[in-house]
């Protein structure tokens, strides 16, 4: 099956798996998906991820993280794809947005790699806004 927007597909798979309380979700891997998974892990939105080698394509396995309540809820409550294949959205270093007053993260791809908005502000670089996660 061909996917025109693999990043939106990844975010949707994670959101849907969280809604039905799956412990993990699998998807085809790519460098951008691995970079997004690493940022989500570093920011505390997912437990962990690993790349499983395969004969044709490798698989990215993401372990989800939930709250410790009577009825567990996923840590990722929402996400929004900003820059899409049909409409790219860029921002300068002084215009990097805050997400949900600092409760979420904006993820950017810059000339120095994929990073959060906060990291991009510290390094003083702008770039393409991939998505928001909260």
Residue ranges and CATH numbers for the domains of the chain are 6-133 (3.30.1490.10)
pLDDT for 2 equals: 66
**Residues belonging to the chain:** 134
Round to whole Å and give the CA distance between 86 and 80.
15
Per-residue pLDDT of the chain (134 residues; tens, 9 = 90+): 667 899 999 999 999 999 999 999 999 999 999 999 999 999 999 999 999 998 999 999 999 999 998 889 999 999 999 999 999 999 999 999 999 998 999 999 999 999 999 999 999 999 999 999 99
Looking at residue 70, its pLDDT comes to: 85
User: Which is it for strands 79-81 and 24-28: parallel, antiparallel or unpaired?
Assistant: unpaired
């Amino acid at each position: 099956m061909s996917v025109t927007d693999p990043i939106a597909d990844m975010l949707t798979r994670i959101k849907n798996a969280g809604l039905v309380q799956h412990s993990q979700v699998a998807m085809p891997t790519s460098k951008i998906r691995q970079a997004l998974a690493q940022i989500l892990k570093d920011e505390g939105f997912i437990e962990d991820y690993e790349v499983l080698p395969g004969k044709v394509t490798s698989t990215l396995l993401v372990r989800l993280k939930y709250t410790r309540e009577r009825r567990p809820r996923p840590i990722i409550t929402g996400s929004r794809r900003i820059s899409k294949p049909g409409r790219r959205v860029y921002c300068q270093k002084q215009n990097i947005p805050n997400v949900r007053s600092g409760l979420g993260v904006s993820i950017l791809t810059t000339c120095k790699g994929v990073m959060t908005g906060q990291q991009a502000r510290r390094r003083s670089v702008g770039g393409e806004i991939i998505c928001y996660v909260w």
